[in-house]
Structure 1
Amino acid sequence: MGYRPEIDGLRAIAVLPVILFHGGFEIFAGGFVGVDIFFVISGFLITSIILSDLEHQRFSVKRFYERRARRILPALLFVVLACLPFAYAWMLPSELEQFGQSLLAVATFSANLFFWSTQAYFGPAAELQPMLHTWSLAVEEQYYLFIPLALLWFWSLGKRRLFGLILLAAILSLLIAEWGWRHEPKANFYLLPTRAWELLVGSLIAFAPRPTALAGFGARTLQQWGPVAGLGLVVYSLFWFDESTPIPSVYALAPVGGTALIIATTTPGHPVSRLLTARPLVAIGLISYSAYLWHQPLFAFARIRMLEEPGLLLATVLSLLSLVLAYLSWRFVEAPFRRRNSPLTRAPLIPAAITLSVLGLVGAGFSQLEGLPNRLPTEARVFIDRYDNYQDIANGRFGQCFFGEDHEGLTTLRFEPQCYGTPNLRRFVLLGDSFSAHYLAGLQALVKPGGTVAQFNISGCLPLLELPRVSPQRCRQLNPERFAALRSDDVVIISAQWPATVKRAGSFEHQALDQTLERLTARIPPEQIALVGASPQWPGELPVRLIRADLHQSLQPGDRLHNPTVEQMSEINRALGALADAHGIRLINPLQRLCKDDNCLIALPFEGTVELTASDYGHLTPPAARHVLAPFMSRFTPAQSLSTVTTGSAQASM
């Protein structure tokens, strides 16, 4: 197969949105599908090379893996080595420990398995992982383990039957992905069985003749409109998909199918071909692999060091810097090692294996030594230890009234009897996810005699009667029970980590919340329902920020710190306030209680000492939770026994 510059242009269209998405440019809400585009390109190129070698009877498994090693490993190892001093200098023990684990995963081509077990792809915590993006390299590396062997073993069947087998495998993988996003969304995102179809689509294109080799009206139509349709599907995905779009699934047919159409039907001279072969795009495409490698560490270390989300200027500078570093590593690392006759590459596998082994050992050392905590002063270590696993302690009733990832996949989940509160007392019900559970201790302190707290919390599960398309299995198991448990005389406090999409009137989350409130207020008096808005979200974790800024030793009640997310959270709360007004219920706005302008409380008095307002990036501590709920709870006088007030303990059937 000859060089096709439009594929390099397509690589540029894939990598730039990925970089800008991770840089926080909201216009590229679907920029993460650039990875899906890369998968199709990789599947096509690898299969084309293998088929050509098989047809000319020159295929060698050893030579195949040698070429892959020369292509992938030098730049990857160079970037990882460049990250080590910054990780050691800037990361706190828990961060360095996890970074070490990710290094070991990179060295063993299992980064996707590691991040599947530890880290969701979207969210504040993911943005601080320098090696997060290597999950996609692991998927490709795992694909490379079996695709050459499969093509070699089944080559004797003939290309037609081999095409059919690959098509069958792609369909099966897509069907698994369709099941996966509904039941195991995190595994669905990271693992090869649900990603393989995207690479296999690329492999299928390698079997298909180009339109120039065909004749007739159909071929001319393909040549004319195929590239246009393909580019339209890709652009649509990049701008209109967002974090709520289940990927991979049939939705991914848009970027995957669009990429396949471009590769399969674009011919020289076509307007789409002229666009993709423009020199700037081709140049970026040539360095796209290195650009992909550099961008995530740059953004992650910037967030770690700057203590906040990069602003527009810094994000732009880092995006450009990733391209500059990409050119340098392409020019001085990638290109020399890819030349087979270069002295650097006469025996590439041995030094690569040694370097991988050393990196794996370094990573294992960071992990086994728990992130080398002795790098920090004693008082800093004590401060950090205080907030490790804080939520498990503060929320209590974990595994009884509050379920999380630890309970995913269990078939017998149900809320324990104590979650329903003490019988014959007025119930104050916490309904939501972990951002509802963090109000438990504060609410218990505020409930007056004659009242009781009921708790129905599911981590990662919005309090909606109709769940989003991507919802963990635990949500689908427990959600009906918690809504069925509500009674007409309950005081219901609804809280969650509301996604940004809830502020868009046409979004699923906005409409589902609107419908949920409508059905709740039909059964429960509106004055007994409160909707809790978004609370301050800290880039990174608040205790970590204070350690890095050396503020942890001088905390005083009432201290404040600049929080760059206040405006973003305020936009969400304005949308929630409009919904609350529409249904006549109360909005509890944590920002009004905790923040003035962009400066938010970081410390409050608590039991004779000083307590932070958040134990991590946003979960509130008991004094902060009490501070937020106090005005709302002051409306309720000491509750009488329900047996003397009403016999109306009828459930508010949804």
Structure 2
Amino acid sequence: MIKDSSIAPGFRGDINGLRAWAVLAVIFYHFGVPGFGGGFVGVDVFFVISGFLMTGIVVNGLERGGFSLLAFYLARARRILPALIVLCAVLLTLGWWVLLPLDYKALGAHAVSSLVFLSNIKFWREAGYFDAASHEKWLLHTWSLAVEWQFYLLLPVVLLGVWKWRPGRRGVVVVMVVGLLTSLALSVVVTSLRPTAAFYLLPTRAWEMLAGGLVFLLANRWALTARQRTVLEMAGIALVIGSIAGFAASSPWPGWRAMVPVIGTAAVLLAAQPASRWTGSSIAQWLGTRSYSLYLWHWPIVVALTYLEWQADSMAIVAGLVLTLVLGDLSYRLVEVPARVHLNRFRLGWGAAALLGTAIAMAAPGAAVFLKDGVTGRFASEIEVIEAEALNKNPRQGACHIGTGAGSPSCRFGGEQLRAIVMGDSHANAIVSAVAAATLSSKDGVMEWTSSGCPIMQGVKSTIFENWPCVDFINWAVREMKGISSEIPVVIVNRHGQYALGKNEGHGKSNIPEVYFSRQYATSDSEYLKEYGDHLTDTACQLALSRPVYLVRPIPELGTDVPKTARSMVWGQRTDASISLADYHQRNAFVLKAQDAARDRCGVKILDPLPYLCPDGRCIDVKNGRPIYYDDDHLSEYGNKLLIPMFAEMFRLNSGSSAGI
């Protein structure tokens, strides 16, 4: 029988029990268990613990005079890599049988980035308006492992340099305090400006680990009584629990808010209560010992529930939690412990070579899957055609559709003779090629002015973003129009349902406004919708004073990602994503009323896509076996061509305008 080598001399049960709190918080949060809306702070708890333990290892080694960088890195690799390699191997193997090419390609890329501990950078670069839902990335949780590993790489090098400059703990404390304050300040600033970068990257997370390191360095300076330790621990636990219950996914993170669980964790570490009722129970010790494997395996199970559309099924959630415990225990007993025991028997160089070779051997198939575009041909062609439509979007989306900033690249589509300006949000970006294809001559073209998540209404404000670029974009567009011939019409396309009522994809709260004007409303009540409609009408009429204005009726929002319905076809099913006209009218009644008011008041023209997208009383998701959307609400390049007759009629009506620039 292999002995559990994780119970090492100096083992602190309170830290192990604190790991249990952290991993349970993360797991319950990801499974959507009520009361754990801020469970993501468990990662922050892990960061502080890691900083405490790693600083202790390095400083103790330096004080003994026998610290080895290679031995430190190998010990960390022995702890992290074996279970991660097994997880990647299992996912890539199962993925061959159940994941369609696009999903399998993404898994391959994420496996490689996880194994080289760069997944935090990978997910940061993927994140954004057009990013796939986080619950569809099988290895998303490995971002935190990457952050920790990057910290592990830098910490001993920095401390070695400080130690040579000024031996002893005092110099280390000074450097770590400076590092903590710098990283914390950066975190606070970047969280408000670039929240995704702040969440994923080491510079804005390092302060959390440095906080743990400082607790280790300063702990012996205070002689605490037993009562003081008890009070300190209870205060720390209260801060951690308060963070779990009080914060939510909408809380900007990390920033200053992360100080709450970080200070709480630091307090528990400083209290050092080995027999605490909070951390010392047998259940807490069992969970804490297996926390790494539990963390590794819980997230793929959460993703699997999403793939199977069981994420809201209470019985499926319970089964997922039980499976997490089973797989976490098996991974700990059959992978973590044996790997550490056997790798400890190797000489330093051989152990490093064995781990590196195994990691490369696992990364190679992941890279091959990515380079082979997910290995097409494993499923029936009609299934893969449906999934592939997710990529059939405006090929110039990245260059022409802006996410931030006041201006626009003013991309031209079609010929050089300008015949229309297409203006709006991502729904406008999704149909601009159809507008260009509808022009009357090959010399005619259109210009795109679109900004992500931006409703074209003056005076609009966001309930979500503090520094919202939409306002600057609208003001810029109004100024730019003054330099363009008044005969050139503007075609406005917006997803008004989302801004006024919230998204309808099954996540997020409904009837909660995303924008406001005079004041913020708690819900999208009739008073709010009237104010919204009035601003829509007023803006359209204001623009109509200087040029023809065409308002496109809202594109139907299906609420179901159409290309991803191919996943259910793998299991012999087909999800119908179409919606009824009645559902469409119920969601968009306030928009239609406001657009009609603009038509009646100031001669704005209405373009109605419903005859082309909603035949026979239903708004379709597929035509001729192929999706007309590249997700749940954006028309694909195939689907938008259904609207060419509508835009062609617009150009015929406006054919008297011959001016252009």
What does 1:212-231 align with in structure 2 at a 5 Å threshold? Answer: 213-214=223-224, 224=231, 226-231=232-237
Task: Give the alignment's Cα RMSD to 1 decimal.
Answer: 5.3
Pick one of 219, 241, 244 that aligns with 1:209: 219
The alpha carbon displacement at 1:622 in A equals 7.2
Label 1:189 to 1:349 Cα distance change in 2 as closer, same or farther (>3 A): same
Contact 2:422–2:432 under 8 Å retained in 1: no
Q: 2:467 aligned with 1:457, yes or no?
A: no
What is the aligned partner in structure 2 of residue 545 from structure 1?
567
Which of residues 241, 248, 253 is equivalent to 1:235? 241
Counterparts of 1:38-49 in structure 2 under 5 Å? 38-49=46-57
Provide, for residues 203-252 of structure 1, a one-character-per-residue CA deviation record: whole Å limited to 9, x for no partner. 1111122697147xxx966752x434433332333334333332222222
* Map of 2:290 onto structure 1: 287
Change (3 A) 1:537 1:424: same
Residue number in structure 2 paired with 1:561: 575
Matched, 1:185 2:195: yes
1:437 maps to 429
Cα distance in 1 for residues equivalent to 2:556 and 2:330:
43
Name the CA shift for 1:522/1:11 in 2 (closer, same or farther; >3 Å).
farther
Match of 1:651 in 2: none
Residue of structure 1 equivalent to 2:476:
481
Deviation at 1:547, TM superposition (A): 5.0
State the one-letter code of the partner of 1:481.
W
Quote the Cα distance in structure 1 between the aligned partners of 2:67 and 2:378: 52
* 8 Å CA contact 1:124, 1:617 repeated in 2: no
**2:562, 2:299 → 1: CA distance?**
15
**How far 1:190 sits from its partner (Å)?**
1.9
Q: Distance in 2 between matches of 1:277 and 1:533?
A: 57
When structure 1 is superposed on structure 2, of 516-525 and 113-122 the one drifting more is 516-525
Asked if 2 retains the 8 angstrom alpha-carbon contact of 1:48 and 1:206, the reply is yes
> Structure 2 CA distance, aligned partners of 1:114 and 1:458?
24
SS in 2 for 1:20: helix
Distance 1:501 1:239, change over 3 A: farther
Question: Is the CA contact (8 Å cut-off) linking 2:105 and 2:370 kept in structure 1?
Answer: yes
1:495 Cα deviation after fit: 1.5
Residue in 1 that maps onto 2:408? 414
Q: CA deviation at 1:492?
A: 5.8
* Partner in structure 2 of residue 557 of structure 1: none
SS of alignment partner, residue 619 of structure 1: coil
- Percent identity of paired positions between Structure 1 and Structure 2: 29
TM-score normalised according to structure 2 size: 0.73
Shift in Å at residue 321 of structure 1? 0.6
Distance in 2 separating the partners of 1:482 and 1:233: 48
How many Å separate the matches in 1 of 2:114 and 2:597? 50
CA distance in structure 2 between the aligned counterparts of 1:237 and 1:578, rounded to whole angstroms = 39
Deviation at 1:603, TM superposition (A): 2.2
The answer on whether the counterparts of 2:422 and 2:447 sit within 8 Å (CA) in structure 1 is yes
The 3 A distance-change label for structure 1 pair 538 and 340 is: same
How many pairs does the alignment contain?
605
Structure 1 counterpart SS, 2:151: helix
Q: Do the aligned residues in 2 keep the contact of 1:73 with 1:352 (CA within 8 Å)? A: yes
Shift in alpha-carbon separation, 1:370–1:575, aligned structure 2, 3 A: closer
The structure-2 alpha-carbon separation of the partners of 1:192 and 1:375, relative to structure 1 and needing over 3 Å to count, comes to same
Are residues 1:145 and 2:160 paired? no
1:134 positional shift: 1.3
Q: Sort the Cα spacing of 1:417 and 1:297 in 2 relative to 1 into closer, same or farther, 3 A.
A: closer
Deviation at 1:368, TM superposition (A): 2.3
The aligned amino acid for 2:247 is F
1:300 aligns with 2:300: no
For the residues of structure 2 that align with 1:366 and 1:191, how far apart are their CA atoms?
A: 26
Closer, same or farther: CA 612–523 of 1 in aligned 2, 3 Å: closer
- Bigger shift: 501-510 or 161-170? 501-510
Note the C-alpha offset of 1:201.
Answer: 1.3
Letter in 2 for 1:536: L
Q: Secondary structure at the match of 2:450?
A: strand
What is the CA distance between 1:14 and its match in structure 2?
1.7
Bigger shift: residues 2-11 or 260-269: 260-269
Instruction: State the secondary structure of the residue aligned to 1:457.
Output: strand
Structure 2 residue identity aligned to 1:495:
R
Match for residue 164 of structure 1 among 146, 167, 174 = 174
- The aligned residue for residue 485 of structure 2 is none
Partner of 1:620: 635
Q: CA deviation at 1:39?
A: 0.9
Q: Tell me if structure 2 keeps the 8 A contact 1:31–1:238.
A: yes
Unpaired segments ≥5 residues, structure 1: 552-559, 644-654
In structure 2, what is the equivalent of residue 99 of structure 1? Answer: 107
Q: Which moved more, 1:13-22 or 1:78-87?
A: 13-22
Structure 2 residue identity aligned to 1:438 = A
Q: Do 1:463 and 1:495's aligned partners in 2 also have CA atoms closer than 8 Å?
A: no
Distance change (3 Å), C-alpha of 1:268 and 1:431? same
TM-score by length of 1: 0.74
Cα–Cα, structure 1 residues 431 and 507, in superposed 2: closer, same or farther, change >3 Å?
A: closer
Q: Which moved more, 1:285-294 or 1:326-335?
A: 326-335
Q: Deviations over 1:123-180 (max 9, x none)?
A: 7533222222111111111111111122222123432332121111112122322343
**Aligned 1:368-383 pairs, distance under 5 A:** 368-378=371-381, 380-381=383-384, 383=385
Please give the residue correspondences for 1:568-647 in structure 2 after superposition, counting only pairs within 5 Å: 601-604=620-623, 609=624, 611-621=626-636
Q: Specify the SS of the correspondent of 2:28.
A: helix
Confirm or deny: 8 A CA contact 2:105 2:373 kept in the other structure: yes
Deviations 1:521-576 (A, max 9, x none): 6666799999959823336843633652567xxxxxxxx83569x9xxx9x99999
